[in-house]
Amino acid sequence: MYETVKALHSYWAYLVLIVLVIGAFSAIIKTIGDKEYGPKDFRKSLFTLIVSHIQLLIGLVLYFVSPRLKMFSELGMGEVMKDSLNRLYLVEHPLINIIAVALITIGYSKHKKKLTSKVKLKTIAIFYSIALILFLSRIPWNAWLG
């Protein structure tokens, strides 16, 4: 089960990144270009929200079925934090990505309450861009691309 969930989590991450890049850059470009917020923008932001939440759920399942999880009881928190690989997989990656999904959720919720196109697009641009930066900062690149 672990290998299946791990593969799903890895492949779904490509979709999340593609959709998030499209959503964030579209909002940035439209904000700078002073364009109107339209139904496609709503769909992009909603789809980004949905795929990121699915990724979060897959990631949580992966976290709890991972053989790495027993490192906490075997080594203790201090030793886990001293090992950069264990720290990445057990602490940094999950925590930062939960924060990134929370930012996507907050950005989506806030943008719906705004009344003008510029403010809606700016809200999406800011929150989704920060989330993208956070996601990119904690991807285990050597394992993901290797």
Q: What is the pLDDT of residues 54-101, one digit of tens each?
A: 999 999 999 999 988 888 788 888 888 898 888 898 999 999 999 999
- pLDDT grade for 144, boundaries at 50, 70 and 90: low
Q: Write down the pLDDT at residue 36.
A: 92
Q: Write down the pLDDT at residue 75.
A: 87
Which is more confident, 146 or 106? Answer: 106
Q: Write down the pLDDT at residue 20.
A: 97
Share of the chain above pLDDT 70, in %: 98
Q: Is the pLDDT of residue 14 over 60?
A: yes
Burial per residue of 57-96, b for 16 or more beta-carbon CB atoms within 10 angstroms, e otherwise: ebbebbbeeeeeeebeeeeeeeebeeeeebebbbebbbeb
Q: Do 18 and 109 meet the contact criterion of CB atoms below 8 Å apart?
A: no
Q: Do 123 and 22 meet the contact criterion of CB atoms below 8 Å apart?
A: no
Q: Is the pLDDT of residue 117 over 90?
A: no
Q: Write down the pLDDT at residue 83.
A: 87
Question: Which residues fall within 8 angstroms of residue 20, CB to CB, at 6 or more apart?
Answer: 48, 52, 104, 128, 131, 132, 135
Which is more confident, 125 or 115? Answer: 125
pTM: 0.91
